[in-house]
Amino acid sequence: MIKTDIIIIGAGPTGLFTVFEAGLLKLKCHLIDALAQPGGQCSEIYPKKPIYDIPAYPEILAGTLVDNLMEQIKPFEPGFTLGERAETLDKQEDGSFIVTTSKGTQHHAPVVVIAGGLGSFEPRKPLIANLNLFESKGVEYMIKDPEVFRNKKVVISGGGDSALDWSIFLADVASEVSLVHRRNEFRGALDSVEKARELAKLGKIQLYTEAEVKEIHGKEDLQAVVIKYNDETKEESYVETDYFIPLFGLSPKLGPIGNWGLEIEKNAIKVNNAKDYQTNIPGVFAIGDVNTYEGKLKLILSGFHEAAVMCQYAYQIINPDKRYVMKYTTVGGVEGFDGSKKEAKKEVVQSIS
């Protein structure tokens, strides 16, 4: 059994930053995530997409943000159980918890923090009869590495920001890009819509509006799609392609966490945001996009703030007989469990005799 001070369910940005805040309080953390690598959505779904609202970074790639967080928490030596989903939560007589994963790995700690983003995600798939036969054989539901599509023919379906942004990005990567949307109006940012239409005029994107991909064809791998128009003509276009990428969004699911007796509201966990982001189960906290309260903003920086506040109260649960006085890192520095120490150089004041 793995024993630690804080069990963190979810190794996305908020979960990772929790390790740093806990480390400043000399608390050890162990993270559980169903994905095979840390980083959550930033690593799994859009590692190459830029993020613009991280303080002090006018622009940073999602994957780079994760790399930086991993470097920041390295001195605090967190443990990881990856590729395993947290299945059960069992409260012990002393008030501590045992979290057991889908593979039977048990974790024991006095505090549990749910930082699982929006939970587990499943792509929203179009209703195409043989779609599953070509998954990972030309049909993809997310783009991790744009270079995979270098000099390839790509068909993207969708009308939101993701479909627009990737169509624009891949226009300079793929040999051909086709964007298919069932309406003439897009739901994305206006500048992205204008950019996509401009690229269509230049012949860099083939735009199909009021149309849908209704059939896909191929032998072992995908070879073509059939696009049918929704207008009066009901015309069809047979488009040869190497990849078909339907970007209709992801459907979040809490999964087994939803059966732990937590108070749930609209697929999110209700917390006490007036104090510590604790759930209705004492000792169990929820931070980041997975929680909800009045005025909640689902932003990475909000998750970072919640992590800092939550750790102060987690310390009191773990060390009820101790009083912690917060010190700014500019004053106290950062002392890792690995013996490393970061601190500002102290000025030497010489007296004049």
Q: Say if CB 300 and CB 126 are below 8 A apart.
A: no
Residue 202's φ and ψ, nearest 5 degrees, are: -85, -5
26 three-class SS: coil
Q: Is 86 assigned a ligand-binding role in the annotation? A: yes
Q: Is 238 assigned a ligand-binding role in the annotation? A: no
Residue 272's beta-bridge partner residues? Answer: 278
Q: What DSSP line would sit under 219-241, residue for residue? A: SSSEEEEEEEE-STT--EEEEE-
Q: Is 121 assigned a ligand-binding role in the annotation? A: yes
Alpha-carbon dihedral angle through residues 46, 78, 29, 114, given to the nearest 10 degrees? 10
Q: Tell me the one-letter amino acid at 171.
A: A
Q: Tell me the one-letter amino acid at 96.
A: S
First to last CA, the chain: 63
207 three-class SS: strand
* HSE-CB of 7 using CA atoms within 13 angstroms: 27
Q: Is 33 assigned a ligand-binding role in the annotation? A: yes
Q: Is 330 assigned a ligand-binding role in the annotation? A: yes
Q: Tell me the one-letter amino acid at 79.
A: G
Q: What's the rounded Cα separation, in Å, for the pair 22 and 109?
A: 14
Q: Is 206 assigned a ligand-binding role in the annotation? A: no
Alpha helices in 173-299 (DSSP H): 190-201
Residue 239's beta-bridge partner residues? Answer: 225
Give the annotated binding-site residues for FAD: 14, 33, 41, 46, 86, 121, 289, 330
Please report, in range form, the residues annotated as the binding site: 14, 33, 41, 46, 86, 121, 289, 330
